[in-house]
A = this chain, B = another copy of it.
Amino acid sequence: MEIIRKTKSVKLILNQFEQRDSAISTVDLIEKLNSEINKTTVYRILDKLEYSGVLHSFLGLNGIRWYAKCKNCSTSHHSDLHPHFQCTSCGKVDCLDIKITMPTIPNREVTSSQFLLQGKCERCSS
């Protein structure tokens, strides 16, 4: 299930991600676009954009899903093994440009991971 048609809704959602560099939660996106796009459509487009390698997603502190732009991903290959940072003060969520060394665990075959850091962002800690 890839994105086939550049519809009005797809453009509106992509536009949101072009306007900022931080991640956006499904809830925020639905709220922000609620007069223009139905929430079902938002979920479906986000699914497709992730599948296509345009966005990647992860879970925030409360289990809500967040989406952010991919950098070098495609439909066939995803390379989003980086941590994310959620500010407990303002709620902002960012991708971190940090290589995490995947720990090797005896007798376990690790295929992927989610690493979420919490604390205060630059703006909130100064």
Binding site for B on A (CB under 8 A): 59, 61, 63-65, 83, 85, 88, 96, 98, 100, 102-103, 105, 107-122, 125-126
Contact = CB atoms under 8 A, between A and B. Distances in A.
Contacts of A114: 61, 114-116, 118
Contacts of A115: 113-116
Contact of A59 (B59, B85, B117, B121): B59
Given A59-B63, A98-B103, A119 B109 contact: yes
A45 to B, nearest CB: 20
A107 B120 CA distance: 9
B112 A119 contact: yes
Kindly report how many copies of this chain are found in the complex they form together. 2
Contact of A105 (B108, B109, B117): B117
B98 A122 contact: no
Contact of A117 (B61, B88, B110, B117): B110
B111 A118 contact: yes
Contacts of A112: 117-119
Contacts of A113: 83, 115-118
A100 to B, nearest CB: 7
Given A117-B113, A118-B111, A96 B85 contact: no
